[in-house]
């Protein structure tokens, strides 16, 4: 329930993993700035918003601060 899968930029409710992207969408993702910042292996842990193409990195999607509340 605390898992945050929402785009922080546009509010889209479902970010997609690499495997969830269509082939066309994967082609778009390959041209995003993140492609030069991260390795392909690293990017398999990322998620993307298919509305605004925000790229969520692992540290963002995996943050679970409330656990140590």
Residues that bind Zn ion (CB under 5 A): 7, 9-10, 12, 49, 51-52, 54
For residues 7 and 29, which CB has a smaller minimum distance to Zn ion in the complex? 7
In angstroms, give the least distance from the CB of 38 to Zn ion.
Answer: 18
CA distance 37 to 15: 20
Nearer of residues 5 and 44 to Zn ion, judged by Cβ: 5
Question: CB of 52: closest distance to Zn ion in angstroms?
Answer: 3
How far is residue 8 from each of residues 16, 31, 41, 43, measured CA to CA in Å? 14, 21, 23, 18
């Amino acid at each position: 329930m605390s898992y945050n899968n929402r785009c922080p930029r546009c509010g889209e409710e479902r970010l997609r993993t690499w495997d969830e992207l269509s082939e066309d969408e994967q082609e778009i993702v390959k041209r995003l700035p993140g492609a030069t910042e991260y390795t392909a292996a690293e990017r398999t842990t990322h998620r993307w918003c298919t509305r605004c193409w925000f790229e969520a990195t692992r540290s963002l999607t995996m943050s679970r601060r409330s656990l140590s509340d």
